[in-house]
Each structure stands twice: as C-alpha cells, then as structure tokens.
Amino acid sequence: MARVVTQALLDALRVTFSKAFEQGKTEAQIVGEFMSTPIPSSTAINTYGFLGDLPIFRKWVGEKRIKQVIEKVYQLINDDYEATLGVKRTQVEDDQIGLYPAMFQGWGREGKQWMDRLRFQALALGHTLPCFDGQNFFDDEHPQFDEAGTTWSNSDTTAGGQPWYLLDCSQPLKPLISQERKAPMFWWINDLMDSEVAKTGIMTAYGEARGAVGYTLPFLAYRSTRVLNAANYILARDAMKGFKDDNGEPRGIRPTHLVVGVSNQQLAKDTFKPNLTNGESNTLAGEIVIVEADRLP
C-alpha cells in the first residue's frame, strides 16, 4: 500500500537530504588549497590591477627615485555550476528513496571539492590561458617590462611528456586566485502546491555554485614537460631562482611545492627518496613538498 505523501513528510525528507549534503562537505578531501589566494566576490566580474613591477628598497643617496609602475588589468569572470535531479512523487509514495541521502552526500562532497577541481583545471590549462601581462600563464615570452623589452620564460616544453609544476607558495600572494561568488548550496523544491510539482509529479533537487579560478604572477610557477628526474628538477628550480625584476635584482623565488599528476607521481617519489640507488644520501630529499594531484594526468 502506498504511503500518504504529506507536506510534513516531504519537509522531513528535505531536512534529511540537506543534512546528507552538509555531511558530504565535511568529508571532502581538499588538495590544492595551498596554491591559491582566496578572494571574495560580490559581482559578476572581478578586476585585478596588478603592478608590472614593485619598487625594491635601495640605498637612499640624493633624491628619492620614484618608481614608475606599469599597471595591467586582469579580469576574472564568475561562472555558474549546477547539479539537478528530479525525485518522483511516486518514489516517495512507494518508499523508494533509500539511495537518495547517499547521492546527496556525494553532491556535498563534490560541491566542497568544486573549487579544488577548478584550481587543478587552471594549472593544467595555464599554457593556453592568459595572465595579467597578456601572455599565457606558462609562456616563454613574458615581458620583463624593462627598457630593453626583454622577455623571460616559466615554461619548458623541450620534451613532450606529461607536465609537472613547481610553485612558490611561500609568498603572500599565491600563484592562483580562487574567487568564490556563491558557495556550493543545496535545496529541494518539495512544495505540493508548486505548479511544476503538481503538473509533472517531480520534485527537483538543485546544487549550485558560482565562482572561478585565475592566475596571479607567473614568476611564482614553472611548468616542465621534461622527464621528471633530479637533473631536470634542478634545471627548473634554478630557472625559478634566477628570475629577476626589471631592475635586474633577484626576485627571491624558490619553489616550495612540486605538483605531479598520476603519470609522474612515482617518478617524484624516486627523485626525492632519502637514499639513492647506490646507497648514498639524496641531497634533494625533503627539499620540496610533493603534491600528488590525481586530477592531473
């Protein structure tokens, strides 16, 4: 015998589904939060005015030298994200909703990891998307903004392997921006008097979020497609350490994290293991934090 579907029953189910969604959020594992600076957003587009170069402290001799800064505008548009599922009224009548709490719990987990997914997408697409200087975030022709018009590179595509990334996350500004306009949320239209529910017999559950991930300063990151080994790591590391500002002064960049996808994870472990094959101590061991990003190839 079908049970009577009352508004009180549906309201109780909404509480159950909402709790499952929130429970899923608490269970989510976040991997990439370290590499982005969180920026609140209250508009459709956030505009970031980055300075082409900041003044450095120099010995004060004679008159102060006013640093002429180059301002570039970088805009990051908030995108909409959603998940939608219809629950039939007959399923409630027949008491066939046992799997829905687990499903909405999964929604909550995915919702919490949504920004993390955007972070790794931004990293993976950094060689195809521009940053504030007009070049792709990972590029071999970043402008130096000096009088000579020189360029510099944070990308090594010498080989065609799966990329790995070095990031300096010790700076106040991280390599990425995580811009959240609307945090992941859940609701269920279960009003029996709702016209769509009455017409279709379907009560619709929604998950929504709004935001974006973008780029800050390209000298905080490096992308390489060389085989991941000690020699190529040192090559990329020293390239970052050698980055200079338009005064020719070292920027003080030193990578803190190595981000590797599935195909490079074992190579990363082998490269930084405590002892080498011949038993000697590995001087690179413990030098950098290895981040295993299963969302990357």
- Looking at residue 277, what is its pLDDT? 84
Residue range 208-226, pLDDT digits in tens: 999 999 999 999 999 999 9
**For the whole model, what pTM was predicted?**
0.90
Amino acid at 11: D
What value, to the nearest 5°, has the Cα angle with vertex 273 and ends 267 and 276?
100
Give the span between the Cα atoms of 38 and 160, in whole angstroms: 33
Across the chain, what does the average pLDDT equal?
Answer: 91
Least confident of 166-175, 226-235, 275-284, 288-297: 275-284
- Looking at residue 56, what is its pLDDT? 55
Average pLDDT over residues 266-280: 93
How do the domains of the chain map onto residue ranges?
7-54+68-292
At residue 4 the predicted structure's pLDDT band, cuts being 50, 70 and 90, is: confident
Q: Phi, psi at residue 186, to the nearest 5°?
A: -135, 140
Instruction: Please check the confidence at residue 59 and state whether its pLDDT lies above 70.
Output: no
Instruction: Please check the confidence at residue 260 and state whether its pLDDT lies above 70.
Output: yes
Give the span between the Cα atoms of 18 and 47, in whole angstroms: 34
Average pLDDT over residues 153-167: 96
Query: Using alpha carbons only, how large is the chain's radius of gyration in Å?
Result: 25
What value, to the nearest 5°, has the Cα angle with vertex 112 and ends 175 and 20?
175
Residue 162, judged by CB atoms within 10 A of its CB (0-12, 13-18, 19+), counts as middle
Residue range 83-105, pLDDT digits in tens: 999 999 899 988 888 899 999 99
Q: Rounded to whole angstroms, what are the CA distances from 232 to 227, 235, 254, 270?
A: 7, 5, 16, 13
Give the span between the Cα atoms of 105 and 12, in whole angstroms: 16
- Looking at residue 149, what is its pLDDT? 83
Average pLDDT over residues 48-64: 60
Q: What contacts 168, CB < 8 A, 6 or more positions away?
A: 175, 220, 221, 240, 253, 254, 255, 256
At residue 148 the predicted structure's pLDDT band, cuts being 50, 70 and 90, is: confident
